[in-house]
Chain A
Amino acid sequence: MALADQLASVLIPEAQLQARIRELADRISADYADRTPLLVSVLKGAVYFMADLTRAISVPITMDFMAITSYGPGQGASGAVRLIKDLDEEISGRHVLLVEDIIDTGLTAAYLLRILGARDPASLRICTLLDKTARRIVDTLPIDYRGFEIPDVFVVGYGLDYRQLYRNLPFIGVLRTDPAAPPP
């Protein structure tokens, strides 16, 4: 069965996705016309968004990537998020734009803001493709660029996964079987 056949619906078609990314890129290009921002993205979910967004930005930029541990099974009571891959570049005095695939609870973004903010950038903003506010815990995030506000559904595709699958779909889809549905 093809990946796309396992979806209940397409939430954001590829054309709409790409059109919105070009709009975001235009705004970023205008806002950073006199600066060279460093776009920072987190592996792996934001890879496709980062690739398409940066190619649509018309001003000079640099980019870098981070990777952090995710909360999950086996985390002991004293487990804490930690960097798996740190930035290669220094960010002190630079204009940093954190590029996220989705902001859901906001816990990951808040952690990243804390560690990036501690490195004394000249500015620190967030660009997220998807903004799912239904379960937001940290609601003080400086989201300056927002692609789509989405409803409380489990989305996959365009970098977003369910058990590491579906990332390579070129659109945002909703899983046919809702993993969060109550048990029978």
Chain B
Amino acid sequence: MPEPNGRGDAATTRPRFAHESEEEFARLLDFYGIRWEYEPRSFPLERDDAGRVLESFSPDFYLPDFDLYIELTTLKQSLVTRKNRKVRRLRELYPDVRLKIFYGRDYRSLLVKYGLARS
């Protein structure tokens, strides 16, 4: 049963991941004993005149021991471009937030490194 805040670091507290790659990444972090939270925070990127949030960005993981957010982007290029724009905006609005993006190639490299890539 996933915890409502998406926190996890053990097999018993798995959140519902949006993508298989996120679940694999969480297993990798668990393997090395790295504490993580899944989508714990949403950063507003754009608001209307009334202050309502029009656009926001929720990085996939937060690693509290390193104060680092991680976003996995294994999408096709057109969607990556849109996400890159969001990331740029996040960095403008929240310069103190540490965010690392793993693109498709980065993620595949991880799979290769750990022998998980399909031949």
A interface residues, Cβ below 8 angstroms from B: 70-73, 75, 77-81, 104-105, 107-108, 110-111, 114, 134-140, 152, 154, 162-163, 179-182
Contacts and interface: CB of A to CB of B under 8 A. Distances in A.
A77 B11 contact: yes
A73 B36 CA distance: 21
Given A72-B115, A79-B27, A140 B66 contact: yes
A163 B113 CA distance: 9
Interface of B: 10-11, 14, 27-34, 63, 66, 68, 70, 100, 102, 104-106, 108-117
Nearest to B117: A179
Contact of B31 (A73, A81, A139): A81
Given A71-B31, A111-B32, A77 B108 contact: no
A105 B110 contact: yes
B105 A137 contact: no
Contacts of A77: 11, 14, 27, 30
Contact of B109 (A139, A140, A152): A152
Given A78-B11, A137-B63, A182 B108 contact: yes
Nearest to A110: B32
Nearest to B109: A180
A70 B116 CA distance: 11
Most chain B CB neighbours (cut-off 10 Å) among A80, A81, A105, A154: A105
B68 A137 contact: yes
5 contacts: A73-B116, A80-B31, A135-B102, A152-B105, A182-B105
B33 A114 contact: yes
Given A77-B30, A135-B106, A135-B109, 20 more contacts: A70-B114, A71-B31, A73-B116, A77-B11, A77-B14, A111-B32, A111-B33, A114-B33, A134-B106, A137-B34, A138-B34, A138-B66, A139-B66, A152-B106, A154-B109, A154-B112, A179-B112, A180-B108, A180-B109, A182-B104
A30 B9 CA distance: 42
B27 A137 contact: no
